[in-house]
Amino acid sequence: MRILHIVQSLEMGGQERLILHLARALSARGHEVGVASLTLGGVLRAEFGKDIEVFDVPRHDGFDAFVIARMAKAIADFSPDAVHTHNPSPMFYAVPAARLLGVKAIVHTKHGANIYGKRSLHAARVVARLTTAFVAVSEGTAEAARIKERVPPALLHVVPNGIPLDDFGPSMETRARVRRELGIPDDAYVVGSVGRLAPEKDYPLMVRAMRDVLGPRARLLLVGDGPSRGDIEQAIAALPNEKHAFCTLTGTRRDVADLLTAFDVFSLTSRTEGLPLVIPEAMATALPVVATAVGGLPSIISEHVGLLAPYGDVDGLTRAMLALRDDAERRRRMGEAARKQALEQFSLDKMTDRYETLYRAARSRATKEQTLASIA
């Protein structure tokens, strides 16, 4: 099959890395894969390799009606059997174009809660019905799709994100090396997070929750960059002066698997989430999770693998971080359970199988309908 993914950007984010993994996996199975981005540039662009065609269908800020025409031309030029869009903007522009061009398989993946205005919400409800499959990455995200986009049950599927599991796992040697590099003591308790520093992730909340945890033997490690970096730095500056040195912002890093080994606990304090790719990655690294109970997180983070608190509950997050700081055996048990769950649920092969099935089912259904129409 020829499969074309339509994405917002190719920056270093969890969704973008997921698409990179999926495109590579599909290519390795013999499919011809393309990736079209609505944004120029992107640090992940070069990582797709020579066998995956990557090109741009740039759009201007706001609604750019001409993008639909440019998108239709790009789709026609690639001539895909399946078009796969990711999150709202690519869906708005590519799904109608693919439908008009008669593409047989049109799959959309909803990666998070998504925020719509009144007009865009109405448009999302219309466009969602033009797909052949509407995918949510978790049960929580599927429930949001039922309420927001009002996706019909026949179109709605849940496909959990998958990762290349062999890339992630605990390593004492790597842990010691990374901690030496970052100036973190071997015996320090490290709470960390990885991701784009964006407002919806609310990293300043994590900083506030760590106020009573931080010390010479307790650190906060944030990996990534983005528009909220200044807000995070302000939150750190608001801590007592003696605690500033115990917070580290690494900026963008490509060695995520190595950095995760230096953590004792992985944390997310987001106000909204789907199923962020970094959660399976952290779980596969045998890390317990402390997170806000939003989106799809409660459906995968049980009491056996982590601790949840309501969004905005600083005290609840602090209690969870302190509880795990003071109980290394509990951390170990949770970490083992998290890794076992990751290996069972978040395989890249399983995710790729599910998407292949959706592509093929839509093609077969369309072929059958065409045959019946010709007979009639």
Tokens of 164: 């290349």
- Domain identity same for 149 and 50: yes
Q: What values do phi and psi take at 278, rounded to 5?
A: -70, -20
DSSP state letters, 259-284? HHTT-SEEEE--SS-S--THHHHHHH
Q: How many domains does the chain have?
A: 2
pLDDT band at 370 (very low <50, low <70, confident <90, very high): low
Query: For residues 210 and 375, which has the higher predicted lDDT (pLDDT)?
Result: 210
For the beta carbon of residue 198, count every other beta carbon within 10 angstroms. Answer: 15
- Domain identity same for 122 and 89: yes
Q: What percent of the chain has pLDDT over 90?
A: 78
Q: What is the pLDDT of residues 304-337, one digit of tens each?
A: 999 999 999 999 999 999 999 999 999 999 999 9
Would you state the pLDDT for residue 372? 46
- Domain identity same for 24 and 140: yes
Would you state the pLDDT for residue 171? 96
Q: Among the residues of the chain, which ranges form H helices?
A: 14-28, 66-78, 88-100, 118-128, 139-147, 172-182, 203-209, 229-237, 256-260, 278-284, 297-300, 314-325, 328-345, 348-375
- Domain identity same for 157 and 200: no
- Residue-number span of the structural domain to which 357 is assigned: 2-162+347-375
Tokens of 257: 């698997």
Q: What is the pLDDT of residues 166-191, one digit of tens each?
A: 899 999 999 999 999 999 999 999 99
The helix (run of H) or strand (run of E) holding residue 34 is: strand 32-37
For the beta carbon of residue 127, count every other beta carbon within 10 angstroms. Answer: 23
- Domain identity same for 6 and 103: yes
- Domain identity same for 144 and 212: no
- Domain identity same for 9 and 129: yes
Would you state the pLDDT for residue 140? 85
Q: What is the pLDDT of residues 89-138, one digit of tens each?
A: 999 999 999 999 999 999 999 998 778 888 899 999 999 999 999 999 98
The helix (run of H) or strand (run of E) holding residue 101 is: none
DSSP state letters, 190-219? EEEEES---GGG-HHHHHHHTTTT-BTTEE
- Domain identity same for 183 and 323: yes
- Domain identity same for 328 and 352: no
- Domain identity same for 147 and 27: yes
Is the model's pLDDT at 13 over the cut of 90?
no
Whole-angstrom Cα distance, residue 292 to residue 329? Answer: 23
Q: What is the pLDDT of residues 333-369, one digit of tens each?
A: 999 999 999 999 999 999 999 999 999 998 877 655 5
Angle in degrees, CA 151, 152, 158, rounded to 5: 70
- Domain identity same for 241 and 325: yes
- Domain identity same for 28 and 138: yes
Would you state the pLDDT for residue 85? 97
- Cβ burial, residue 211 (10 Å; 0-12/13-18/19+): middle
What's the pTM?
0.80
Dihedral angle, C-alpha 315, 320, 325, 329, nearest 10 °: 160
Would you state the pLDDT for residue 112? 83
Q: What percent of the chain has pLDDT over 70?
A: 96
Mean pLDDT in residue range 179-204: 95
Mean pLDDT in residue range 291-308: 93
Mean residue pLDDT of the chain comes to 92
Tokens of 59: 């759009």
Whole-angstrom Cα distance, residue 114 to residue 110? Answer: 8
12 DSSP 8-state letter: S
Would you state the pLDDT for residue 12? 77
CATH number, domain containing residue 170: 3.40.50.2000
For the beta carbon of residue 248, count every other beta carbon within 10 angstroms. Answer: 16
